[in-house]
Structure 1
């Protein structure tokens, strides 16, 4: 996973007015509206100082989001926490189920899916960026940088949580309640949350945000792969089910927050253009 992030870090608007001439205020206002609706309101990143600075700005925005939560956000938190509690209570049973239902065929299948969580996803983002640059596809180039930024920020948050909550991996412990003090270096207590699940869900959410509106099949495929990747971590006895759930939830909502911030910045840009046009 670190190698994938290293690769990401290293690799790391026109409107037209009507031809008619009218001196009325209504026509002037309509022209301003036309300009606001143009591509000039979009923010498209390239690897430069502005992009690198946006990573820090988005990190601050995401961390501060709970202070601005609305009712629906607390409902989502309740759902995530409630499901996590149910899974926590059943973690041992889930582990036993997968341990007793392993086979050579299933192992061969999971071996093909599991790399989506630590290798394929970062390489996919890097490949998107290279393809966007070569083909001069600004949407693809920008989209890859948005995905990369989401992955970097979600990983920083995930790594911080993992360093504080030192939970024993099911590979080494039968009890899902084996914990060590924060900031210890015991690699056996690095279970919570699941990094593979966070990585693949982060990229899946970014793909859904970027292409889901125009291609409805993208979220189904992206989230489907993410779900299967999480299941491989249970099958391979590398994580508890609650680890996988929280990793996926964290990757999903952090990425949604980053794209929300993007839309807010574009809205502010549109308002500035409107103020200048009036």
Structure 2
């Protein structure tokens, strides 16, 4: 339990230590429309979600609540519906789909991709760190990497990015992203793959990672300025969320 708390606090304080204000204005010249005013109120919901999940690892009352929800959700399952394997990526894909349809978001494709890659990397590393540390048995008994839900974290990260990018066009883009993300979390429980606390914590990690992607944009974007364009054309980063393994990449043109 203590190791999980330390891991979470390290994640939060690491982000605070890398605020844009701590970077020299002479060394970074971001070319973006990003004007995300990061106030402490924005961190209340994701922090509460993650904290609830962590407390639930040791709380007998919350574990009982988990078991009750699991029993209700899975009681009448005839067969699994694997839509959650695809819906987790739908909000992220919509960032580019809306652009292709002519809906102009806050940032151009390059800036949007840098923010997405930064958010996804933070989310993947955080989810994997918790999975390896917590070692929670899945409801279906197949493995010990239940906490937190990587599918839910991915979906909520994409939903928050959708909200930030398109909220000035229409708040309903963000709402639709969050509806898909919520559905993804519900199906993870319906398919008997996650406890309620896994889903709640995953949602918090996803939202917080998306916000951090904007927060850290000035740092990430310096590798894509003209000064570095001849040196770096592609950035690749491996990820593993406890079930899926792959390589994420950003390519400049």
Shorter-chain TM-score category? Answer: 0.5 to 0.7
Aligned twin of 2:227:
none
Cα shift at 1:255: 1.2
Correspondence list, 1:140-219, <5 A: 140-172=109-141, 188-219=143-174
Q: Deviations over 1:185-212 (max 9, x none)?
A: xx71010111100111111111111112
CA contact (8 A) 1:129 1:140 kept: no
CA–CA distance in structure 2, aligned partners of residues 222 and 121 of structure 1: 5
CA contact (8 A) 1:94 1:241 kept: yes
Give the count of matched residue pairs: 183
CA contact (8 A) 2:119 2:212 kept: no
CA contact (8 A) 2:140 2:193 kept: yes
Cα shift at 1:265: 9.9
- The structure in which a higher percent of residues are strand is 2
TM-score of the superposition, structure 2-length normalised?
Answer: 0.59
Cα shift at 1:213: 2.0
CA–CA distance in structure 1, aligned partners of residues 208 and 91 of structure 2: 18
State the Cα RMSD in Å.
3.8
Alignment partner of 1:81 is 2:51: yes
| Structure 2 unaligned blocks of 5 or more | 1-9, 20-37, 222-253
Change (3 A) 1:75 1:167: same
TM-score of the superposition, structure 1-length normalised?
Answer: 0.54
CA contact (8 A) 1:128 1:144 kept: no
Cα shift at 1:79: 6.2
CA–CA distance in structure 2, aligned partners of residues 61 and 234 of structure 1: 26
Structure showing greater relative contact order (alpha-carbon pairs closer than 8 Å, 6 or more residues apart) = 2
| Structure 1 unaligned blocks of 5 or more | 1-59, 173-186, 267-278
CA–CA distance in structure 2, aligned partners of residues 229 and 102 of structure 1: 16
- The structure in which a higher percent of residues are helix is 1
Cα shift at 1:235: 0.2
Aligned twin of 2:244:
none
Aligned twin of 1:94:
69
